[in-house]
């Protein structure tokens, strides 16, 4: 089932129509993606919350949510429990770039948006876990290289070499000698 078909199947007709107004028998259709309802828009400061949502919020937000679902599908968010995709970040970036006041400006990445920069100065994010950043192929390479290194370090000859290097460092104070050497080099 395609994404659009899944969305349309999930909505039933009762959800598309509002409850009839008490004084009139009219029903209002929610706006189609990207379109404001027909008729003159109400005054945003005096209209009801429902009218405000239908005329000013939904025509902007619904296309963004549709794009969010498409992007989440591309990022394979519906296949696993954990993902690096952050829906609020995507929606913030999408809404900022689709703002009609910015239509002549170039695309701006999330972390270059001024209010996002200001927010992150005061509220830094923890780093994303490596398990979410790496692809399966990259993760397998990291695991394989660690395992190969571990197996090599278990070899008795390598253990002997490492013990000798450790003793040499301790007895000869190699770190001090190296620091003196670099101090002389920098003095030249």
**Mean pLDDT for the stretch of residues 132-159:** 92
CA atoms lying within 13 Å on the CB side of residue 140: 3
| Structure confidence at residue 37 as a pLDDT band (50, 70, 90) | low
Average pLDDT (40-62) is 89
Cα atoms in the Cβ-side hemisphere of radius 13 Å centred on 2? 4
Cα(43)–Cα(173) distance, integer angstroms: 80
- Highest-confidence segment of 43-52, 72-81, 140-149, 159-168: 140-149
Please state, in angstroms and rounded to a whole number, the distance separating the CA atoms of residues 8 and 11: 5
Tokens of residue 163, six digits: 């013990």
Query: CA 69, CA 2: separation in Å to the nearest integer?
Result: 11
Mean pLDDT of 72-88: 87
Q: What is the per-residue pLDDT across 154-186, written as a single tens digit (0 to 9) for each?
A: 999 999 999 988 888 888 777 788 888 899 999
Give this prediction's pTM: 0.55
Structure tokens given for 48: 């009801």
For residues 116 and 91, give the distance between their C-alpha atoms in angstroms, rounded to a whole number: 13
Lowest mean pLDDT among 36-40, 111-115, 125-129: 36-40
Indicate the SS3 state at residue 32: coil
* Burial class of residue 134, CB neighbours in 10 A (0-12, 13-18, 19+): middle
Residue 96 has pLDDT above 90, yes or no: yes
CB-based contacts of 20: which residues, under 8 Å, 6+ apart?
26, 27
What is the greatest pairwise CA distance in the chain?
Answer: 96
């Amino acid at each position: 089932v395609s994404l659009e078909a899944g969305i349309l199947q999930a909505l039933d007709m009762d959800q598309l129509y509002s409850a009839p107004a008490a004084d009139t028998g009219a029903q209002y259709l929610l706006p189609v993606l990207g379109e404001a309802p027909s008729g003159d828009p109400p005054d945003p400061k005096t209209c009801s919350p429902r009218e405000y949502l239908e005329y000013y919020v939904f025509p902007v937000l619904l296309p963004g949510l549709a794009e969010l679902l498409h992007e989440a599908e591309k990022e394979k968010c519906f296949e696993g429990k954990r993902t690096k995709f952050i829906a609020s970040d995507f929606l913030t970036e999408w809404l900022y770039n689709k703002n009609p006041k910015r239509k002549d400006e170039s695309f701006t990445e999330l972390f270059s948006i001024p209010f996002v920069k200001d927010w992150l100065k005061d509220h830094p994010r923890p780093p994303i876990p490596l398990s979410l950043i790496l692809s399966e192929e990259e993760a397998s390479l990291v695991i394989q290289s660690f395992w190969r290194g571990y197996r090599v370090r278990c070899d008795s000859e390598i253990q002997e070499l490492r013990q000798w290097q450790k003793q040499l460092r301790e007895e000869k104070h190699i770190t001090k000698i190296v620091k003196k050497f670099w101090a002389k080099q920098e003095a030249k």
